Amino acid sequence: MLAWTIYISFAAAAAMFLLKPDSRQGARVLALVAALAGLAVGLVGAVQHAGGGLVTIQKLPWVQTIGAEYHLATDGISLTLVILTGLAAVVGILFSWNVEHRTREFFAFYLALIGGVYGVFLSFDLLLLFVFYEIAIIPKYFLIAIWGSTNREYAAMKLALYSFIGSAMVLAGLVAAYVVSGAQTFNLVELAKYPFPASFQNWAFPLVFVGFAILAGLWPFHTWAPTGHSAAPTAASMLLAGVVMKLGAYGCLRVAMTLFPEGLAAWRDVFGGLAVVGIVYGALVSLTQRDFKFVIGYSSVSHMGFVLLGLMTLSTIGLSGAVLQMFSHGVIAGLLFGVVGRMVYDREHTRDLDELQGRRLSRTMPFAAVTFVVAGLASMGMPGFSGFVAELKVLIGAWQTFPKLAVIAGVGIVLGVAYTLRAVQKAFFSGDKEDVPGAIHAGHGHGESAITLPEKIGAVVLITTTLVIGLYPKQLLDWIVPSFASPLFDGLRKGGLQ
Amino acid sequence: MSVDYLGLLKLFLPECAVVLTALVILFADLRWWQALPVLQRSRGAAWLMTVGLLGAAAVALLGEKSADLLGGTLVLSSASQHVKVVLLLLAVVTAWLCTEGEFTKHVGEFMALIALATTGMMFLVSTENLLMVFVALELVSLSLYVMTAFNKRSPRSAEAALKYFLFGGMAAAFTLFGFSFLYGLTGSIHLPTIASKLAGHATDPLALAAIVLVVAGFGFKIAAVPFHLWAPDAYEGAPAPAAAFIASGSKVASFFILAKLLQTGLAGAEGSGAWKAFAPGWTAVIALLAAASMIFGNLAALAQTKLRRLLAYSAVAHAGYALLALIGGSQPALLYYVVTYAVTSVGAFGVLAVVEHRTGREDFGSLAGLRERSPLLAAGLTVFMLSLAGIPPLAGFFGKFYVFVAAAKQGPDLGYWWLVALALAMSCVSLFYYLQVLKQVWVAPREESAPTFAGEKAVAALIALLAGAVVVLGCAPEWLIQWLR
């Protein structure tokens, strides 16, 4: 049943081209219906799954010659991310309600991207997972290159090339693993059982891990992220930071760590260190940015650092914290980019914090200000929001294994407070126009429209989600934690997973 | 010995049908159609070609699937018959591409040349005899040289043909010289016999020289570095249908026979190109050729501003990837890759033919805003470019994947992994220039004076069909792999 999330998305993307070329409302409605259907299917599937272990959805022979199968399956981790994708898709469409230029193509590419993402989260055959992973690259390129803002063609090409290089590295590792295992299969569960020689794992693990981690924003391969997120249109930024970066982290967990546990043991310290560098570096650089979207872009790098740190802790609490952080950051990044991109940029036509300083946005768009404050609190890790639970678990897990890194990561949280408050203050709550020399005299009647209903719905949905999970994380954790008990993680258990 | 001519005729009915088609078209065009406008004549000739060649394809599909006659001169297998069907289909598409663009008044002759080149290719894939290989190769080459020169109003066409011819003539000489060494060493021109006689002294200096000469000769045909210098000019100067056929049909046939030559004829002389385990033999040579082609082809394509030259350098790069399959020893992987590449290539040239004819331009800018001007062509070109880049779920991705797996399996301890890694790195480079083309189609705004067009109905239909085939063959590759076994 969960497979329908994929099919509905691709079908709707194709159906977009049956609409009239200048149809806007039709395209929006079709996209929203498809995204809502996907979310509904995801939720129903999650309820049905209810904490069971690995459940196969579909298993058909695909390419017998090499042993690839059309194998879709799910466990708690996949479910969490499928629901995140559904939420991000719906809210992204709501925040893109105002796209006027080539609307149906926008939503076609958007839905194709969503379909590819669903596919990655549900695939348990390595070739199939890779196929969906690469399918997602091309819509991203076009979304940014056509509907993006500053420097969009450069940003789109950079993002596409980085993603493709990452997936090429993954493919290299997968081909090597397939050949070395001698098993004529790409089934993840089967390959996870195979004892790859340690010398092989020592180079295969970093290859595949870095390949996926490029997309997850591992420092120092993260530079595509801020550029790409800033150039992308709002919905694409929300998807990119919210979901696509999680594709990379999911790949790290699902493929690299599951297949090569001994390699992981050898490289843990290195990647744990890089993750923490990412946390602190992302936060520090975010603190100096003039462009509002770059602030959020670098903060995404910082938050993804927590995910990667959690993955390296090799304790159930750290790993489940990492998965929860994937979900939580997906929601929060969606909120942040929604406010910055849709609510502020589309109206003020500037993302420069110094220019925004004079415009008293807390007066002219109070809803946006409140939303951003709430989102900022969540991003900082304020208890009551999902970010706190996730980051706490990651830090506890990290303290058990790399105490020094945990302390540095904690510093990263404090820096998070700093850059968030700076951005909030500059953009929304700074002094009167007269205080800032050279500030643009922005009146109320800027032609600004009030915050529209779709934006309000989108924001409320996301805020509610982060609050609910922050106050009652048990619902998600009941799915996530038992997944680590499945036989898929036996190799990791031998490697020290508690 | 007595030869059963009737039996021979039955086995080679497809080839006969193709030659007959060529003669019928020549007759019809020269006798009855001279007064008609060129477009009508092209259409008529294309219809005749379709009927004739599809009939030949049907005979090939339904007829005898295995035979070995006259000491390996004529050898049929299920793979060879199916490859013939592919060649015939590619020829039909090439014939229809002639209706898009008026580069010549001599329609009948051009169509006849396409048919003759196809015949040559068909014989090329039905033999295990060195002399027959050479004769068929020459038939193909000579037909293609003339086709390249066919646009008498374009000096570039003449220049391209001259370069192609001179280079090709040299290459043919090398090939024949290499063949003569093989004969000298083994006393036979029958591939399996050569293999058995060579067994044991495969590292004989004369044998190694023969390998290098033969690979050089065929390297020209498949446009591998460093024998690729003719490709950019030939692809650019030749009339679109000729370029399309060179890029597709000629490649399929050449790779098929090269594989047969090396894997059957030089079976004991593989050597090894594995990392830190180089041993003299043809695998080592092919590995180097593959590496050079992939690197040079992709890097040179980055600098191109003309679509045809971009496709030429990309063809060089794809020859590199296909050579990996040759090393991998996997015939299904090689054939799947080359066949899907040919389909993609002929489709891409089809789109280029329409665009060049309707806009009169050859640079990237001619594609600006294509999605508005011609949605079908834009969709088709997108599919073809993405397939060439290796994006799933298209055939190009699966072809590359299968080739990589085959190459990685070969050689002990992932010996050829260095080639696979190189191929992947170069694929990343290639994404850049394919996206540059697609950027024009989807992102660049339409220029004021740019016309909207749909192209000839038949050509548009064929492009749509080819694009659909690329998608379907990529999503469900098992069928084609089994069919080409």
Q: Which pLDDT tens digit goes with each residue over A377-410?
A: 999 989 989 999 999 999 999 998 889 999 999 9
Average pLDDT over residues B223-230: 92
Residue A443 has pLDDT above 70, yes or no: no
Nearest CA to CA, how far is B470 from chain A (Å)? 15
Residue B93 has pLDDT above 80, yes or no: yes
- Residue B485 in contact with partner chain A when CB distance is under 8 A: no
Q: Determine the pLDDT at residue A234.
A: 85
pLDDT range class, residue B456, cuts 50, 70, 90:
confident
- Residue A365 in contact with partner chain B when CB distance is under 8 A: no
Question: pTM of this prediction?
Answer: 0.93
Average pLDDT over residues A207-211: 94
Which of B413, B443, B472 is the best mutation test for A, with the most CBs of A within 10 A?
Answer: B443
List the 198-237 stretch of A: residues with Cβ below 8 A of B.
Answer: none
Average pLDDT over residues A140-160: 91
Question: Are B401 and A171 an interchain contact pair (Cβ–Cβ within 8 Å)?
Answer: yes
pLDDT range class, residue B368, cuts 50, 70, 90:
confident
pLDDT range class, residue A442, cuts 50, 70, 90:
very low
More confidently predicted of B6 and B431: B431
Chain A residues touching B397 at Cβ < 8 A: 131, 134
The rounded distance, in Å, linking the Cα atoms of A385 and A378 is: 5
pLDDT tens, A272-311?
A: 999 999 999 999 999 999 888 899 999 999 999 999 999 9
Q: Determine the pLDDT at residue B322.
A: 94
In the 3-class helix/strand/coil scheme, how is chain B assigned residue by residue?
CCCCHHHHHHHCHHHHHHHHHHHHHHHHHHHCCCCCCHHHHHHHHHHHHHHHHHHHHHHHHHCCCCEEECCCCEEECHHHHHHHHHHHHHHHHHHHHCCCCCCCCCHHHHHHHHHHHHHHHHHHCCCCEHHHHHHHHHHHHHHHHHHHCCCCCCHHHHHHHHHHHHHHHHHHHHHHHHHHHHHHHHCCCEHHHHHHHHCCCCCCHHHHHHHHHHHHHHHHHHCCCCCCCHHHHHHHHCCHHHHHHHHHHHHHHHHHHHHHHHHHHCHHHCCEEECCEEECCHHHHHHHHHHHHHHHHHHHHHCCCEHHHHHHHHHHHHHHHHHHHHHHCCHHHHHHHHHHHHHHHHHHHHHHHHHHHHHCCCEHHHHCCHHHHCHHHHHHHHHHHHHHHCCCCCHHHHHHHHHHHHHHHCCCCCCCHHHHHHHHHHHHHHHHHHHHHHHHHHCCCCCCCCCCCCCCHHHHHHHHHHHHHHHHHHHCCHHHHHHCC
Chain A residues touching B430 at Cβ < 8 A: none
Chain A residues touching B431 at Cβ < 8 A: 160-161, 164
Nearest CA to CA, how far is A272 from chain B (Å)? 27
The rounded distance, in Å, linking the Cα atoms of A482 and A239 is: 27
Q: What is the DSSP string of A373-441?
A: HHHHHHHHT-TTSHHHHHHHHHHHHHHHH-HHHHHHHHHHHHHHHHHHHHHHHHHTS---GGGSTT---
pLDDT tens, A252-276?
A: 999 999 899 888 888 999 999 999 9
Q: Determine the pLDDT at residue B412.
A: 77
Q: What is the DSSP letter of A360?
A: -
pLDDT tens, A304-346?
A: 999 999 999 888 899 999 999 999 999 999 999 988 888 888 8
- Residue A138 in contact with partner chain B when CB distance is under 8 A: yes
More confidently predicted of A449 and B456: B456
Q: Determine the pLDDT at residue A447.
A: 45
More confidently predicted of A443 and A159: A159
List the 60-89 stretch of B: residues with Cβ below 8 A of A.
Answer: none
Average pLDDT over residues A94-108: 89
Q: Tokens at residue A99, please?
A: 């796209």
Q: What is the DSSP string of A40-85?
A: HHHHHHHHHHTT-S-EEEEEEEEETTTTEEEEEEE-HHHHHHHHHH
Residue A34 has pLDDT above 80, yes or no: yes
List the 99-128 stretch of A: residues with Cβ below 8 A of B.
Answer: 127
The rounded distance, in Å, linking the Cα atoms of B206 and B212 is: 10
Question: Are B408 and A175 an interchain contact pair (Cβ–Cβ within 8 Å)?
Answer: yes
Average pLDDT over residues B364-368: 86
pLDDT mean across residues, chain A: 88
Average pLDDT over residues B90-102: 92
Residue B365 has pLDDT above 90, yes or no: no
Question: Are A63 and B417 an interchain contact pair (Cβ–Cβ within 8 Å)?
Answer: no
pLDDT range class, residue A351, cuts 50, 70, 90:
confident
pLDDT range class, residue B266, cuts 50, 70, 90:
confident
pLDDT range class, residue A448, cuts 50, 70, 90:
low
Which of A18, A60, A104, A131 is the best mutation test for B, with the most CBs of B within 10 A?
Answer: A131
Residue A441 has pLDDT above 60, yes or no: no
